[in-house]
């Protein structure tokens, strides 16, 4: 099931019209970060429990759970009828992973095996157990993603469709009214699992995956959809215990053309708690030349700094901008032209564990330590890559993440987001690097 950031190669199709400063810009009067509380948002992939065998319990075992403020569960799908749904539909929904799959004691956060008659099992139950151990941790359901944004435009098309769509998502994920699946599910079975909703529509007003509908009026409709989510979430919160608040966030693009086509920045930022900025896939392995995928600074190219500035210029407050960081690399093979390999012709995506041209950090760390690859760094640009003379991988390691977390602090941003938690090492090396960096350590 291809629902990962691999699909976000739409950025590469956009005009490279964004010119960004190569040297760090002034911090616009932002504080140094002392005494601030930063968001640390990690995506947990529904399908990672299979091939990668990455369970929610691994976040407790590797120490990451105590360092996160948010987990975004990827993904929830939108039906052709414009509603949130789940079930066991290959390529469309996986209720088995979500809430039906029993886990044994070794894979359970609380060390107790699931029973056959409990209404909630699977990832949802484990997330609930993780929250019990870490009361400050919030879990959001992320809706859409590259492959599952297909019907967003239809769902957001009219006031009536928006109202019905939002109500269905709140019913399923916030109220926790799950479809019955044998002994699993039922009314309120998942209540308390999710603390809000993350909108990952890729992309309103411009092209996304091949089957994703988009319209010129998506920009207006996305604004109204955000408002409808905010209205209904707040209304439901008022029926809960005093002080309850459900968060609303969004994943948003780097390319100025995509920002302008789909996002009324000033208006949506009023209703969103924060946005997670695309900070990766600036270039992807399907392109004919090697290139950086996540540089902090880059002259005449996409960059993290350019993304931050693009959103700020359009009215987004810095403290609501959360910087996206990749826990994976983009790779090319058949690289010719010599030198350090960057900017050179390539034959195609590099062979990899799960998908050609896409490799988890934990695997790239092993390559870096194998002696076959040389690590190259652009210290001013804030990015790194591996090259063995034929194959190149561009990625973020702890040294790059230290530079990026320093930028977050210096520019008064809201924090860091990373895709995805299952790509980190067994001891949570990258999450630790981000946590320490945001603490100024």
pLDDT > 70: what percent of the chain?
A: 92
pLDDT at 36: 66
User: Could you read off the pLDDT of 168-179 as tens digits, one per residue?
Assistant: 999 999 999 999
Give exposure, 389-417, as e/b (b: 16+ Cβ within 10 Å).
eebbbbbbbeebbbbbbbbbbbbbbbbbb
Report whether pLDDT(383) > 70: yes
Residue 274 lies in a domain: yes
Counting the structural domains of the chain, the total is 1
Residue 338 lies in a domain: no
Q: At residue 419, what are phi and psi to the nearest 5 degrees?
A: -115, 120
Residue 15 lies in a domain: yes
pLDDT at 19: 35
**Residue written as token pair 């269905």:** 168
Residue 335 lies in a domain: no
Report whether pLDDT(121) > 70: yes
Q: Find the CATH number of the domain harbouring 125.
A: 3.20.20.80
Which has more confidence, 2 or 291?
291
Annotated catalytic residues are 202
Report whether pLDDT(51) > 60: yes
pLDDT > 90: what percent of the chain?
A: 91
> Please, which residues have CB within 8 angstroms of residue 143's CB and are 6 or more apart in sequence?
75, 76, 77, 78, 84, 169, 197, 198, 199, 200, 201
Closest CA to 352 of 368, 374, 324, 332: 332
Residue 38 lies in a domain: yes
Residues 292-305 have a mean pLDDT of: 98
> Please, which residues have CB within 8 angstroms of residue 5's CB and are 6 or more apart in sequence?
146, 280, 281, 326, 328, 419, 420
Mean pLDDT score of the chain: 93
Residue 388 lies in a domain: no
Residue 143, token pair as written in the block: 């809706």
pLDDT at 312: 98
Residue 345 lies in a domain: no
Report whether pLDDT(377) > 80: yes
Residue 337, token pair as written in the block: 């032209």
Residues 217-243 have a mean pLDDT of: 98
Residues 86-97 have a mean pLDDT of: 97
Report whether pLDDT(8) > 80: no
pLDDT band at 358 (very low <50, low <70, confident <90, very high): very high
pLDDT at 11: 41
Other CB atoms within a 10 A radius of the CB of residue 192 amount to 15
pTM of this structure: 0.93
Report whether pLDDT(5) > 90: no
Residues 22-45 have a mean pLDDT of: 62
Report whether pLDDT(13) > 50: no
Report whether pLDDT(12) > 80: no
Range of the domain at 293: 5-328+397-438
pLDDT at 17: 36
User: Could you read off the pLDDT of 181-209 as tens digits, one per residue?
Assistant: 899 999 999 999 999 999 999 999 999 99
Residue 56 lies in a domain: yes
């Amino acid at each position: 099931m291809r629902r990962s950031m691999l699909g976000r190669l739409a950025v590469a199709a956009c005009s490279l019209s964004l010119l960004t400063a190569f040297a760090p810009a002034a911090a616009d009067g932002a504080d140094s970060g002392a005494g601030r509380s930063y968001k640390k948002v990690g995506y947990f992939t529904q399908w990672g429990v299979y091939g990668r065998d990455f369970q929610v319990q691994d976040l407790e075992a590797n120490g990451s759970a105590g360092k996160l403020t948010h987990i975004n569960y990827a993904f929830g799908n939108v039906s052709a009828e414009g509603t949130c749904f789940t079930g066991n539909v290959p390529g469309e929904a996986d209720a088995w992973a979500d809430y039906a799959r029993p886990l044994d004691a070794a894979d359970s956060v609380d060390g107790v095996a699931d029973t056959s008659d409990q209404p909630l099992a699977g990832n949802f139950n484990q997330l609930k157990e993780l929250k019990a151990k870490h009361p400050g941790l919030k879990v959001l359901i992320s809706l859409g993603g590259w492959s599952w944004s297909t019907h967003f435009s239809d769902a957001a098309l009219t006031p009536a469709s928006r109202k019905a769509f939002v109500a269905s998502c709140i019913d399923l994920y916030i109220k926790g009214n799950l479809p019955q699946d044998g002994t699993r599910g039922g009314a309120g079975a998942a209540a308390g699992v999710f603390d809000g909703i993350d909108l990952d529509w890729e992309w309103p007003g411009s092209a996304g995956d091949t089957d994703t509908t988009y319209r010129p009026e998506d920009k207006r409709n996305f604004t109204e959809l955000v408002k409808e989510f905010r209205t209904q979430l707040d209304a439901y919160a008022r029926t809960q215990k005093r002080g309850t608040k459900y968060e609303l966030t969004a994943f948003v693009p780097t390319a100025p053309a995509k920002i302008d086509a789909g996002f009324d920045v000033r208006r949506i930022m009023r209703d969103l708690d924060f946005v997670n900025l695309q900070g990766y896939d600036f270039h992807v392995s399907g392109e004919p030349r090697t290139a950086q995928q996540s540089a902090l600074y880059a002259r005449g190219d996409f960059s993290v700094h350019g993304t931050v500035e693009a959103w700020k210029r359009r009215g987004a407050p810095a403290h609501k901008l959360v910087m996206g960081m990749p826990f994976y690399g983009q790779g090319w093979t058949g690289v010719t032209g010599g030198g350090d390999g960057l900017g050179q012709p390539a034959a195609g995506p590099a062979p990899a564990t799960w998908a050609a041209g896409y490799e988890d950090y934990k695997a790239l760390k092993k390559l870096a330590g194998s002696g076959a690859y040389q690590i190259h760094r652009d210290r001013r640009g804030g990015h790194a890559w591996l090259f063995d003379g034929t194959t190149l991988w561009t990625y973020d390691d702890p040294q790059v993440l230290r530079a990026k977390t320093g930028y977050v602090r210096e520019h008064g941003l809201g924090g860091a987001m990373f895709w995805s938690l299952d790509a980190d090492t067994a001891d949570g090396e990258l999450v630790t690097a981000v946590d320490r960096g945001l603490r100024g350590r």
